[in-house]
Amino acid sequence: TPREKRRPLLKRLLTLASLILLLAPLTARAEEWRWGEIVREELFSPYFAETPDADAVVLLDHGIARVDDKMHLKFHRHVRTKIMTDKGMDRAVVRIPYPAEDEIKNFRAHTIVPPGNELKVEKQHIREETDPAGKVMVVTFPGAQMGAVLEWEYELRSDRIDVLPEWSFQGRDPVRVSF
């Protein structure tokens, strides 16, 4: 029946409307965390009072989901992680999983070492892998050392607007800011 044919479209439109209403107030805060602008306290701090024994601390994990005029989901993610101890050095290899039918665009990353020296992630530091769930972008940050901040951002593009990427507000490492 015509009514049953309209249900999938209605579901997608309701999902889109919900996303817009939930995420619109958060987009203005993205300007507070500009690419490469690390707060001096975060760059030079040997530990953070709230997590003094952490091997690494996620300083920022920010994501924005948008649907473009061609009905593609574009999910922008910006992450900063600080290596606090020698045990935290394994964080210098980042794995970004994503569905095989999706694609990562506008990827950039760098390592920031106090007093602010920047080492850019180049093509030779990035490789693609496949796993049963899809693809994985594997990034090895150059010049990583204790006290360094690893920063990366990318846009995940998908034709499926009804499935948002998985989001975790806390993980292996303590997270200072996540939204």
Helix (H/G/I), strand (E/B), else coil: 24 = helix
Identify the sign of the CA torsion 7, 10, 16, 19: negative
Which among 78, 36, 85 is positioned nearest to 60, based on CA atoms? 78
Give residue-wise pLDDT tens across range 123-171: 999 999 999 989 999 999 999 999 999 999 999 999 998 888 888 888 8
Task: Spell out, as residue ranges, where the chain has pLDDT lower than 50.
Answer: 19, 21-31
| Whole-prediction pTM | 0.81
Query: In this structure, which long-range contacts are made by residues 120-126, counting pairs with CB atoms below 8 Å and at least 24 apart in sequence?
Result: 121/152
Give the per-residue pLDDT at 168.
84
For residue 170, what pLDDT is reported? 85
Q: What is the pLDDT of residue 27?
A: 45
Backbone angles phi, psi at 162, to 5 degrees: -95, 0
